[in-house]
Amino acid sequence: MTLWAVDSHVHFHDCFDKGLFIDSCLRNMSSISCSDIKHGMLFFTEGRNEDSYNYLRTIKEIKNPLSKEIFQIRDIETSYAIELKSDKRGIRVIIFPGFQIVTKENLEVLSLGQKKDCLMVTQLKIRLLMFFL
């Protein structure tokens, strides 16, 4: 059986060093007490003016400035996720887009697995849901 580690609330800000960020994600996954975990999933939680997911889709690799390790990035065929691999560690991480929406009632709703072009539809669904509650 293949075990996966999943983080469903990931912020990836412009100020982060991309290589150090990815290295930290992989190191955290490796430190989980179950040593059989070889793969992970990250669900980005981006704000209205953030688009780190699409930025990552435009590059093919990220280099860790300290260890010089290179992480490969590729679009998954459906374009609903990207894959990040470390051949050195034998680990891969699937990254999904997602957004954090704050309602007028100040509730935070996570729209996971959604691309930015679907954000308006998601906001409409949330408004309808809040209307009927």
For residue 23 the two structure tokens come to 């290295």
Q: For all residues of the chain together, what is the average pLDDT?
A: 79
Query: Phi, psi at residue 103, to the nearest 5°?
Result: -80, 170
Strands 98-102 and 3-10: unpaired
Adjacent-strand bridge partners of 37? 3
- Tell me the per-residue pLDDT of 32-80, one tens digit each, with 9 for 90 and over: 776 677 788 898 888 878 888 888 889 999 998 888 889 999 988 766 7
Do 97 and 116 contact (CB within 8 A), yes or no?
yes
pTM over 0.75: yes
The pLDDT score that the predictor gives to residue 128 is 47
For residue 44 the two structure tokens come to 């980005």
